């Protein structure tokens, strides 16, 4: 007969503990220095999280490239017990297909956007179910849930390795996740990954990618009093902008079931030397949000067609384009066993079937999935990501941790079933 009182107390302890951990994380500024010049970076929060993990008996591996932007790899099981499992798996592998590794990768970012015009952004304030503060929702709550889940997996002695990637720079260039994946190496295999970005407790299986294209439209400079001697690069960019809008309408006709259509917009425009000069150059940076199946090469072809259309209509139109940044989309099949296992874990904890949905934002998940690891997003509800009032639901945060522990349990059972 289980000791029900002890279990209830344990659960109350977990809620209190995760609230305190989240509050501690919010108190430590970790604004991304690539987004704003005053950003302090991830060094303080990473060393605090590493120290917390050590007090909890978790193995911590810093991933530091010496630029003050550290990430951490945290593990629920010490190297020795992982080595024993690996040896057993390699024995088994000789007599059949490669067995599952029993590894669940959780990922959360350490950085936040800047503090904006928030009131007391680094003073966590609890009001009912809400905890307010910069990064509470995006995504220190998800990070706290992942860390607590890892610690619980260790405490319960689950035979699944729960690995937490606590990464830098998600809000800008995703340096952290790329460095962590490099650090783990090509030999690292996980059965599943959950990125604990806020999803309102839905299972996020898809998000768009994006491609940034810089287009230089060339004109011929001339004095403003003699425009017939010049070619106005800014006016010609206007023609291009009309074509970009038309592309947007064409894209709207083809929708992904979870993500809607791909989109395109003009993000930045700059050009011209002065009011009395015919501008010789105008630079336009456009962003194309891509659907699963659309590659940077597809976008380059699309942009090439836009430029060709403009040139066909105007012999003076000259432009060059180049891709300056791109990130892949994410799409994990809704029928993947990870989705069923996570959904089952949610039902166990919340007596509620979670939605399976697409997400409007891009996240580090795409890098993990690109390594062949089945990846979804799952995290608490709240509001105000990147806004001046940001809060997260404390009940969701604690439930998120419980669901992740339950998933780790289910994953172990599912793997044993596969091996049997």
Q: Which is nearer to Zn ion, 114 or 232 (CB)?
A: 114
Supply the minimum distance, in Å, between the C-beta of residue 402 and Zn ion. Answer: 21
CB 72 within 8 A of CB 147: no
Q: Which is nearer to Zn ion, 102 or 382 (CB)?
A: 382
Q: Which residue, 52 or 137, has its beta carbon nearer to Zn ion?
A: 137
Nearer to Zn ion, 251 or 377 (CB): 377
Among 113, 139, 154, 282, binds Zn ion (CB under 5 A): 139
In DSSP notation, 372-415 reads: T--EEE----EE-TTSSS-EEEHHHHHHHHHHHHHHHHHHHHHH
Q: For residues 193 and 240, which CB has a smaller minimum distance to Zn ion in the complex?
A: 193
Nearer to Zn ion, 106 or 139 (CB): 139
CB of 197 to Zn ion, least distance (A): 5
Q: Residue 364 CB, nearest distance to Zn ion (Å)?
A: 8
Query: Buried (b) or exposed (e) across 230-260, using 16+ Cβ within 10 A?
Result: bbbbbbbbebbeebbeebbeebeeeebebbb
DSSP secondary structure string for all residues of 116-172:
TT-SSTTS-EEETTEEESTTIIIIIHHHHHHHHHHHHHHHHT-SSEEEEEEES-TTT
CA distance 148 to 161: 14
Q: Please, which residue, 124 or 219, has the CB nearer to Zn ion? A: 124
Count of CA atoms in the C-beta half-sphere (13 A) of 196:
37
Q: Name the segment binding Zn ion (CB under 5 A); options: 58-66, 138-146, 236-244, 412-420.
A: 138-146
Burial of 37 (0-12, 13-18, 19+ CB in 10 A): exposed
Single out the residue of 247, 251, 243 nearest to residue 310, CA to CA. Answer: 243
Cα three-residue angle 58-62-64, rounded to 5 degrees: 170
Q: Does 74 bind Zn ion (CB under 5 A)?
A: no
Least distance between Zn ion and beta carbon 138 (Å): 4
* Binding map of Zn ion across residues 197-236, x = CB under 5 A, - = no contact: x---------------------------------------
User: Pattern of binders to Zn ion over 165-204, x per CB under 5 A?
Assistant: --------------------------------x-------
Q: How many residues bind Zn ion (CB under 5 A)?
A: 3
Tell me which of 111, 138, 191, 331 binds Zn ion, using CB under 5 A: 138
CB of 195 to Zn ion, least distance (A): 9
Min dist. Cβ of residue 113 to Zn ion (A): 9
- Per the listing, tokens 């009912």 go with 128
Instruction: Using CB under 5 A, list all residues that contact Zn ion.
Output: 138-139, 197
């Amino acid at each position: 007969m289980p000791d029900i009182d002890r279990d209830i107390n344990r659960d109350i302890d977990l809620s209190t503990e995760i609230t305190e951990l989240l509050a501690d994380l919010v108190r430590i500024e970790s604004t991304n220095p690539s987004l704003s010049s005053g950003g302090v970076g991830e060094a303080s929060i990473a060393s605090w999280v590493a120290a917390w993990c050590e007090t909890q008996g978790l193995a911590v591996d810093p991933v530091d490239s010496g630029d003050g932007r550290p990430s951490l790899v945290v593990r629920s099981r010490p190297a020795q017990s992982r080595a024993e499992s690996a040896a057993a798996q390699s024995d088994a592998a000789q007599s059949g297909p490669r067995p599952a590794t029993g590894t669940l990768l959780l990922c959360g970012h350490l950085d936040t956007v800047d503090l904006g015009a928030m009131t007391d952004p680094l003073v966590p304030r609890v009001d009912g179910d809400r905890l307010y503060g910069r990064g509470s929702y995006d995504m220190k709550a998800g990070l706290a849930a992942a860390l607590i889940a890892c610690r619980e997996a260790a405490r319960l002695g689950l035979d699944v390795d729960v690995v937490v990637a606590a990464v830098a720079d998600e809000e800008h260039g995703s340096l952290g996740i790329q460095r962590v994946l490099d650090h783990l190496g090509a030999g690292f295999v996980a059965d599943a990954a959950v990125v604990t970005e806020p999803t309102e407790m839905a299972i996020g299986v898809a998000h768009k990618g994006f491609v940034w294209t810089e287009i230089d439209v060339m004109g011929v400079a001339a004095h403003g009093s003699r425009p017939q001697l010049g070619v106005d690069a800014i006016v010609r960019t206007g023609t291009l902008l009309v074509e970009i809008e038309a592309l947007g309408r064409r894209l709207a006709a083809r929708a992904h079931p979870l993500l809607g259509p791909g989109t395109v917009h003009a993000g930045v425009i700059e050009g011209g030397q002065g009011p009395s000069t015919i501008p010789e150059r105008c630079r336009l940076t456009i962003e194309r949000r891509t659907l699963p199946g659309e590659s940077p090469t597809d976008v380059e072809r699309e942009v090439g067609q836009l430029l060709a259309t403009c040139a066909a209509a105007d012999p003076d139109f000259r432009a060059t384009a180049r891709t300056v940044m791109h990130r892949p989309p994410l799409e994990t099949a809704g029928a993947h066993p990870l989705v069923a296992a996570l959904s089952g874990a949610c039902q166990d904890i919340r007596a509620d079937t979670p939605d399976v949905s697409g997400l409007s934002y891009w996240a580090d998940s795409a890098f993990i999935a690109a390594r062949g690891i089945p990846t979804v997003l799952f995290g608490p509800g709240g509001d105000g990501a990147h806004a001046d009032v940001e809060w997260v639901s404390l009940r969701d945060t604690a439930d998120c941790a419980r669901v992740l522990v339950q998933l780790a349990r289910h994953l172990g059972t599912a793997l044993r079933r596969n091996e049997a």
